Amino acid sequence: MNHTRDIPQTFWRDDRLPWLELRSTWRSRQAYKRHSHPQLSVGAIIEGETRCLCAGQEYLLQPGDLIVDPTARAA
């Protein structure tokens, strides 16, 4: 488990899928500054809620919601 910025999280990567990275985070209350990813990014909200800014619009994400950032293209 990795504790970047004291957030309990786990990363999964596979050399056969260089365009994909999975990250699990638990009980994070940290706000993230604006950023992007070089790989496909998919998030699933399991509990709690978070806010996301996309194309200038803010969204409230709640349990059952998915967020997909297709920033990178699969090779």
DSSP characters for 33-58?
Answer: PS---SSBEEEE--SS-EEEEETTEE
- pLDDT for residue 15: 93
Domain membership of residue 8 (yes or no) is no
Interstrand relation of 66-69 and 41-44 (parallel, antiparallel or unpaired):
antiparallel
Domain membership of residue 5 (yes or no) is no
- pLDDT for residue 16: 94
Domain membership of residue 75 (yes or no) is yes
CA distance 36 to 31: 14
pTM flag (> 0.85): no
Residue type, 11: F
Q: How far is CA 51 from CA 5, 8, 15, 20, 27, in A?
A: 19, 19, 31, 23, 14
Domain membership of residue 55 (yes or no) is yes
Domain membership of residue 15 (yes or no) is no
Q: Which residue has the higher pLDDT, 4 or 43?
A: 43
Domain membership of residue 61 (yes or no) is yes
Which residue range forms the structural domain that includes residue 46?
Answer: 39-75
Domain count, the chain: 1
For the segment 3-25, the average pLDDT, to the nearest whole number, is: 77
- pLDDT for residue 71: 65
Domain membership of residue 63 (yes or no) is yes
Domain membership of residue 71 (yes or no) is yes
